[in-house]
Amino acid sequence: MANFDGEKPIYIQMAEWIEENILTGVFPEETQIPSTTEISAMYRINPATALKGVNILVDKGIIYKKRGLGMFVSSGAEQKIRGERKQEFFEKYVKALVSEAQKLQISKNEIITMIEKGCDNNERD
């Protein structure tokens, strides 16, 4: 995500962006992430907002501050994020999927078939 804008509070978008990058390995564990100064300039957001986003992750234990050096990704962060997102998966994706399927009158079995197809396709790629 290259733009922080729109509806969700920007600091939350920022935290999610960092988590996303941790998950995909762009910010590996025990490496330094860009400073809030750099992030705020790059994405044209207020540094206080950037700091707020970062602090959420510090509180969650996903990032830690090394004095005089900057912010680092904690070990086990990937797992932590994954665990959290797994919990949210049902709320965020499954509910929406079921509701949309209902709108389109797709039956439960059809959904399951589609999911199996999707997983197979993914494995193949």
Partner 1 sequence: MSVIEVKNVTKIYGKTVALHDVSLTFKENCIYGLLGRNGAGKSTMLNIISGRAFADSGEVLIDGVSAKGNDSALGKVHMMGEQLLYNPALKVKEMFKTASWFYPDFDMDYALNLCDEYKLEPKKKLAKLSTGYRTIAKAVNALACGAPIVFFDEPVLGLDANHRDMFYKQLIKRYNERPATYVISTHLIEEAAGLIERAVVIKEGQLLLDKEADEVRSMGYSVSGKAEDVDSFAKDKELMGEDVLGGLKTAYIKGSLEAAELPEGLSAEPMNLQNIFIHLTNS
Phi and psi torsions of 113, nearest 5°: -60, -45
Structure tokens at 37: 């100064």
Rounded Cα distance, 39 and 28, in Å = 17
Q: Is 18 in the site for partner 1 (CB under 8 A)?
A: no
Q: Is 8 in the site for partner 1 (CB under 8 A)?
A: yes
- State which of residues 46, 75, 79, 113 lies at the interface with partner 1 (CB under 8 A): 46
Structure tokens at 21: 């990058």
For the bound state, the minimum distance from the C-beta of residue 4 to partner 1, rounded and expressed in Å, comes to 6
Q: Is 86 in the site for partner 1 (CB under 8 A)?
A: no
- State which of residues 44, 66, 86, 124 lies at the interface with partner 1 (CB under 8 A): 44
Q: Is 37 in the site for partner 1 (CB under 8 A)?
A: yes
Residue 91 vs 123, nearer CB to partner 1: 91
**Count of other CB atoms within 10 angstroms of residue 83:** 11
By the 8 A CB rule, do 31 and 19 touch? no
For the bound state, the minimum distance from the C-beta of residue 12 to partner 1, rounded and expressed in Å, comes to 9
- State which of residues 15, 40, 57, 63 lies at the interface with partner 1 (CB under 8 A): 40
CA-wise closest residue to 76 among 35, 26, 30, 16? 30
Residues in the chain: 125
Residues near partner 1 (CB under 8 A) are 4-11, 37, 40-49
